[in-house]
Structure 1
Amino acid sequence: MRPNRTLAGRSCFGHLAWIHLLRAGSIACCLVPAGLAAQQIPAASPDAPTTTTPTTTTPTTTTPTTTAPSGEQTAPKAVPAPANGKAELAVSIAAREAASWSVAQQIWELAEPGYQEVKSSALLSKMLEEAEFRVERGVAGIPTAFTATYGEGKPVIGLLGEFDALPGLSQQATPVRAPREGATYGHGCGHHLFGVASASAAIAVAEQIKAGRLSGTVRYYGCPAEEGGGAKVFMVLAGLFKDCDAVFHWHPGSRNAAGDRSSLARMAVKFRFHGKSAHAAGAPEQGRSALDAVELTNHAAELMREHTPERTRIHHVITAGGDAPNVVPAFAEVYYYIRHPNGDVVRDLYRRLELCAQGAALATETRLETRFEGGIMELFPNVTLAKVAMDNLKALNDIEYSEEDRRFALKLQESLDAPLPLETIRQVEDRSGTIGMGSTDVGDVSWVVPTSGFSTACWAPGTPAHSWQAVACGGTPIARKGMDLAARVLAAGVWDLMSDPKLITQAQAEHRQRLDGREYRTLMLPGQKPPLDYRKPSRR
């Protein structure tokens, strides 16, 4: 099922796309279903060199009828031709919508862990390479990270894309709990949609650059391991954003929303304790329990909570704690996240948490091994770019649920604690001036270049992120429609910036004013390398 919209108005069914034909120096228009358009306009050959100019394929001029859900043939609605080049972006995105959804479905099924997204990264880089982007793979010392660039000169506008999945969230595209056989990971944060929508938008912008309607450079950043791996931090430190003038990103959600919102900075660490095994009953005095050290660390952290600043968040999970109760554990590990709206506060909280672990090791006569897993800064808001995103989201939001979508959403909502009315998909929530309680490595990007993002409704209203319900929705037409809207909003935002350089100047001036002389200081420790194995099982 394709997104239920037209370019000129809203409809609960049908998805029509304008295809502009260049003939004998004049422009003719015809109305064709988006799926047919996608079939008639093939992607560029993957063997074509990245410096060649894309070719233009002329589709047939026959105007077909459309099929209503009941199966009846109905005449297509008359839709006025796009009045300007900005409207052509939606035409371009609609023409490849079926192909884009196919890539998203493949990434959803692959559900690859952070820094191990080999196939997902390859699918996205190929998609952009076939559109004649200049693709550079393995950037910042990360095998699955890449950049894809089209155009020349200023401005340089970046679009972020993500594609990693989450552990423990295997799920079929069903409204009831049903893990996929043989799978353990799932796209509980919708990154399969994130990566593809941004790529589709970048390609649409590239076509406008080629057509001479826009000038400048659009760059797609293929960013792995957002879920705890911090890949964008290493991409920032590698200088990949140094020539970028502005960046847009987005995220799937259960609401359409935009605004100059911040987030929580975060540091992550694994405390690994090494003790001495012994018979737990026969010779306990000869053992030194690594699990005791973990439990003592956790107790100290719990006592510390009372003496932390407001909005502090501390989470942990014991990733290794022994194998049998009659054996004193010689190895144990606990994995911690520390969060706060201010990165400097997080630095100090991390210092204090390290003291908790050191004290536990001293008290239990075990050896502490600290494995730092990375740090990411809070989002640095930009009102100018947030307004661009908000204006386009409000103007383009045309998501409508079909009856099939409604049945799926209502059934899935039976498993939610706080479902929202389905009609909320028609709303755009203003989150300006708020602080999101999550963390993202987009924060580090936002400290070095003006950045802003938004979310679109890709899940049944009220669905929480990082849940099996989010995974389930991600494989349905509900997600497909949200992804399509995101691609159009991103492309429109880039159009606005390239068409009006004063917006970029204003965004950059605001960025400098907010910094107020402060310099970007990464929360990564000196010499930190990408933790490429952070999703692999712990080794003793």
Structure 2
Amino acid sequence: MTTNFAKEYLAANKEQFERVSEYIYNHPETRFEEYSSAEFLALECEKAGFKVERNVGDIETAFVATYGSGSPVIGFLGEFDALSGLGQKPNMTSYEPTENNVGHGCGHNLLGTGAFAAACAAKKHLEENNLPGTVKFFGCPGEEGGSGKTFMVREGVFEGVDAALTWHPSPANSIISLSSLANYQVYFRFKGVSSHAANSPHLGRSALDAVELMNVGVNYLREHVPSDARMHYAVTNTGGISPNVVQADAEVLYLIRSPKVKQVDDIYKRVCKIAEGAALMTETELTIEFDKACSNYIPNRTLENILHENLQKAGIDKPVDEEVTFAKQLWSTLSEGEKEGYLDILKGFGYRGDGSEFEGKYLAETISPYEPTNDILPGSTDVADVSWVVPTAQVTTSTSALGTPLHTWQMTTQGISSYAHKGMLRAAEAMALTGITLLTNKEDLELVQEEFNEFRSKNPYKCPIPDNVKPSKLDK
């Protein structure tokens, strides 16, 4: 294998992959409703010579594209779901929301396409050299608030895969070497009795009071959980808009996070007791509905080293003047806090350094050194559950201006810029080279699996989503 193979293949097919990214960007769909994006991407896989299995894991928008036969089996993980509330016209320097206000504020149009491009390059290498082995591209829906991959893991979709690779858009060029927070997402629904709030308030039993009391109780719990734990909530049903009616129905959705699943479960059980107490205080009925969950991410240091070496081989081109100007204009839209904290965003993606190389710049033009860390990313990903059953590594490449936070209009507006597409293909090249290495170098793959097996021998996996829970679409 020549180092230039993947680069040459991706360059020759650059316009095709940009077209795929643009299609997904222009058809933003929220979790488990990515009908257009999933089908378009599945058809592109078929055009590229993959055999596609749809509706995997009993999820309408999940699919697996396969090429080749036999061992080793290398998987590439792609995402394509968008976010509600983050619709934004592309390549703008001010907030201009789209009509449906759904957009790719986490860059998943790039993520899915970049992983697809990497799978295509690895496939092409097997094909041209008549080599044994299998390349799989996993179309993974519902990462945003849905834990699609966790459901897929539970249903055995990743069985038989020897290693998995994925990436994420960001302002950095580095290996995502941090662990992540496990989480549970759970609905708490209260049922009370309606009544006239002035004439007969004593006959009513307020479900909204129960929600409020529960939230107050959880706020007191915050002092008594691990320091890295997070408890977020959204009141998803206030019981109506009439203040002169005692609200008979109310609902709150909790997202509980902590570094380990066991910690999340312990916190969850305490939150349930608080909810039960709120129901007792208000004489309402409580229903608890488990929505989804994911585990903490398990880095594979051997695989990360290989991926980093290949990221360095892929290299990074100096941005052109127009890209720098656009990035500078977007930098000016950030708050002072966002500007001051730009380095924290990079470190969350595995960047190591003091930021000196970014002085006077608005785009990352260097690749971070790789340094394994025990730090924890203050966020969650369903890639984590894949990492418990398959050796997994993640890379990030710069697709946005320094300081750009995820889940913002600034992230969305950069989603199909020339700079974003350059970063997408850089990630694809690094993953493709790594996939080819694992497909053709038995010793490297054995070392990756040796590390993984050592961890799993001491840490059995249990899917955090109960068997009876099904994927839920976003109630927009």
- Matching residue of 2:283: 365
- Matching residue of 2:362: 422
State the alpha-carbon separation in 2 of the partners of residues 93 and 369 from structure 1.
52
Deviation at 1:218, TM superposition (A): 0.6
Deviates more, 1:202-211 or 1:319-328: 319-328
Deviation at 1:364, TM superposition (A): 0.8
Question: 2:176 touches 2:396 (CA, 8 Å); kept in 1?
Answer: no
Question: 1:399 touches 1:426 (CA, 8 Å); kept in 2?
Answer: no
Matched, 1:229 2:170: no
* Match for residue 448 of structure 1 among 374, 389, 414: 389
Deviation at 1:278, TM superposition (A): 2.0
Relative to the length of structure 2, the TM-score reads 0.92
Matched, 1:170 2:110: no
* Match for residue 443 of structure 2 among 483, 489, 502: 502
Using a 3 Å threshold, how does the CA distance of structure 1 residues 119 and 465 change in structure 2: closer, same or farther?
Answer: same
Q: Residues 313-366 of structure 1: CA distance to partner in whole angstroms, max 9, x if unpaired?
A: 111111121322222222211111111111111111111111111111111111
State the alpha-carbon separation in 2 of the partners of residues 209 and 502 from structure 1.
18
State the alpha-carbon separation in 1 of the partners of residues 331 and 177 from structure 2.
29
Paired residues for 1:336-355 under 5 Å:
336-355=254-273
* Match for residue 38 of structure 2 among 121, 124, 148: 121
Deviates more, 1:219-228 or 1:388-397: 388-397
Deviation at 1:301, TM superposition (A): 0.6
Code of the residue aligned with 1:242 in structure 2: it is: E
- Matching residue of 1:22: none
Q: Residues 125-180 of structure 1: CA distance to partner in whole angstroms, max 9, x if unpaired?
A: 11111011010000001000000000111000000000001111111121211101
The structure with more helix, counted as a fraction of residues? 2
Runs (5+) with no aligned partner, structure 2: 343-360
Matched, 1:488 2:405: no
Code of the residue aligned with 1:461 in structure 2: it is: L
Matched, 1:436 2:354: no
Deviation at 1:449, TM superposition (A): 1.0
Paired residues for 1:75-474 under 5 Å:
84-173=1-90, 174-180=92-98, 182-212=99-129, 214-321=131-238, 322-417=240-335, 418-419=338-339, 421-428=361-368, 430=370, 432-433=372-373, 434-474=375-415
State the alpha-carbon separation in 2 of the partners of residues 165 and 454 from structure 1.
20
State the alpha-carbon separation in 1 of the partners of residues 199 and 75 from structure 2.
63
Using a 3 Å threshold, how does the CA distance of structure 1 residues 428 and 121 change in structure 2: closer, same or farther?
Answer: same
Deviation at 1:431, TM superposition (A): 5.7
* 3-state SS in 1 of match to 2:458: coil
State the alpha-carbon separation in 2 of the partners of residues 244 and 337 from structure 1.
30
Deviation at 1:522, TM superposition (A): 1.2
State the alpha-carbon separation in 2 of the partners of residues 378 and 477 from structure 1.
33
State the alpha-carbon separation in 2 of the partners of residues 403 and 517 from structure 1.
52
* Match for residue 455 of structure 2 among 508, 511, 514: 514
Deviation at 1:259, TM superposition (A): 4.8
Q: Residues 53-105 of structure 1: CA distance to partner in whole angstroms, max 9, x if unpaired?
A: xxxxxxxxxxxxxxxxxxxxxxxxxxxxxxx4442222211122111111111
Identity over aligned residues, as a percent? 40
Deviates more, 1:522-531 or 1:404-413: 522-531
State the alpha-carbon separation in 1 of the partners of residues 193 and 333 from structure 2.
45
State the alpha-carbon separation in 1 of the partners of residues 242 and 404 from structure 2.
38
* 3-state SS in 2 of match to 1:227: helix
Using a 3 Å threshold, how does the CA distance of structure 1 residues 167 and 90 change in structure 2: closer, same or farther?
Answer: same
State the alpha-carbon separation in 2 of the partners of residues 272 and 154 from structure 1.
49
State the alpha-carbon separation in 2 of the partners of residues 368 and 142 from structure 1.
29
Q: Which has the bigger relative contact order, CA under 8 A and spacing at least 6?
A: 2
Q: Provide runs of 4+ in structure 1 moved above 4 Å.
A: none
Question: 1:258 touches 1:432 (CA, 8 Å); kept in 2?
Answer: no
Deviation at 1:214, TM superposition (A): 4.1
* Match for residue 477 of structure 1 among 408, 418, 423: 418
Q: Residues 402-432 of structure 1: CA distance to partner in whole angstroms, max 9, x if unpaired?
A: 2211121111111223335325332325462
Code of the residue aligned with 2:270 in structure 1: it is: R
- Matching residue of 2:475: 536
State the alpha-carbon separation in 2 of the partners of residues 184 and 320 from structure 1.
21
* 3-state SS in 2 of match to 1:92: helix
